[in-house]
Chain A
Amino acid sequence: MSQQPLRGSLINNQIRLASTTAATATKKGASTKESKQDDSILLEHKGDFTTGVSRLREHYRNTVQDDLMVLTYNHTFKPKAKIPEGVRVELKGNRHIKPAPKAPSSRHIPELVKIDVHCMMKEALVSKYNLLSGFMAIQSITGEMPEIINSKKGVHPWKLRAGNPIGCKVTLKGDKMYQFLDKLVEVVLPRMKEWPGLPESAGDATGNIGMGFAPSALSLFPEIENNFDMFPRMTGFDVTFTTTANTNLEARLLLSGFNMPFQVKDHSAPKAKEAAAPSIESASA
């Protein structure tokens, strides 16, 4: 029913139907209790019922999206030759073929798709209940119930057996994702001591960026800071930003648009040397 488009006649019909059932229910009188219980419908939980405005999403729509469209535009775009079906292309050095970039369009603007927060706790090898602290911490930070990650293979030197619960992971999308990013950028990252920003070359060449946090960073989150003593073990965690960007540059541009700090290095040094060299030559001559 909820899939149908908004049509005046349909809604009027539904309201009429609802009002008639209500009218017949009230007419019954003595048996209203039973009819009320029969009539009530269970509200299915379909996603998050958020009513507020997502600050960073609005910022993206108002500012970042337009600028990204201009900054990532390439007028001289040549489509790559498509590899025909069934042909197997092998690259040297175990490299994989990157997906062919699409022609520039107003629809292909880099956008943040999801954020993965993942923590692995070695202490869980000793006892699986040690994982509870990390589990609770990640739930407090992100607001979503994480899923427990079990090991796929066993590694005997590390006392790891296949199928051991070893970590927890949560995938954030939509409002929750922007909320988490907001918290990171506004509260946590500024408080981190001696963190120069993400490296200049950050990115996995297909438009995703990952970063790791030490256990000390966990205590900087307001949710954890307030009840610090209730967490038996502080754990480090990693955050992966998945975007629709095609290159590292696009991914970095996107994240910096949300005030994510990157290390900025000066790349103009050779010019200064060139300017100095002729003056020395002229002085000696």
Chain B
Amino acid sequence: MSSPFARTALTKATSLMRAGGSSAIPKKGGGNSLNGEPRNDLIKKVLFDAPPRPPVRLSPEDMTRHETIERAWKLVRQQQKQAQEEGLARKFEMMRKANAELEATSAQLFKHSQTKERHAVFPRQLRTLTDTPPKQIWNYRQPAAAPSPKA
């Protein structure tokens, strides 16, 4: 349901809203505009009545260029996905072999390896990748994470 037209309208709206200032001045007659709330009027105008961005028109060469670029990028993504899937498949196969070997070696250890903790989650200290390092690299004063109940 997305459209670039709505997005531009929205950015226009935010700047319009900032220019308009804080809570609206009540109109002279009372509940004229959309349930007596002039802000609703503004929101309705911005969302539904704002003219959409004019559609982009390209010459045939530009269109060809655009399509070539799109397809090249699609191909790159396809190759990356394939490489990713191959890596996963290799890892999976190694894991399966290791499990099979463990099953053959020791029944008790195998059973211990297969039992899973019901409420296992990634630790809260997990760091997602960022462009730049954080201001605080490591918190030395932080208390140690609670040991896992299984251990």
Task: Spell out A's residues near B (CB within 8 Å).
Answer: 1-2, 6, 11, 14-15, 17-19, 21-22, 36, 39-43, 45, 48, 55-56, 58-59, 61-67, 69-71, 73-76, 104-107, 109, 126-127, 129-130, 132-133, 135-136, 139-140, 143-147, 170-171, 176, 200-201, 223, 226-227, 229-232, 249, 252-253, 256-259, 261-262, 264-268
Contact = CB atoms under 8 A, between A and B. Distances in A.
B35 A127 contact: yes
Given A73-B99, A253-B120, A259-B122, 16 more contacts: A2-B71, A21-B60, A40-B57, A69-B88, A136-B43, A145-B1, A145-B3, A170-B1, A200-B119, A223-B14, A227-B17, A249-B120, A253-B122, A257-B122, A266-B149, A267-B149
Interface of B: 1-4, 6-7, 10, 14, 17-18, 20-23, 34-35, 37, 39-40, 42-44, 46-47, 55-61, 63-64, 66-68, 70-72, 75, 84-85, 88-89, 91-92, 95-96, 99-100, 103, 110, 114, 116, 118-122, 124, 126, 128-130, 146, 149
A2 B70 contact: yes
A114 to B, nearest CB: 13
A106 B88 contact: yes
A43 B57 contact: yes
Contact of B75 (A6, A59, A69, A127): A6
A18 B146 contact: no
A176 to B, nearest CB: 7
A256 B47 CA distance: 36
Contact of A259 (B3, B56, B63, B128): B128
17 contacts: A11-B64, A22-B59, A41-B57, A43-B58, A75-B96, A104-B92, A105-B92, A130-B35, A132-B43, A143-B2, A143-B10, A144-B1, A171-B1, A227-B14, A232-B39, A253-B121, A259-B128
A106 B118 contact: no
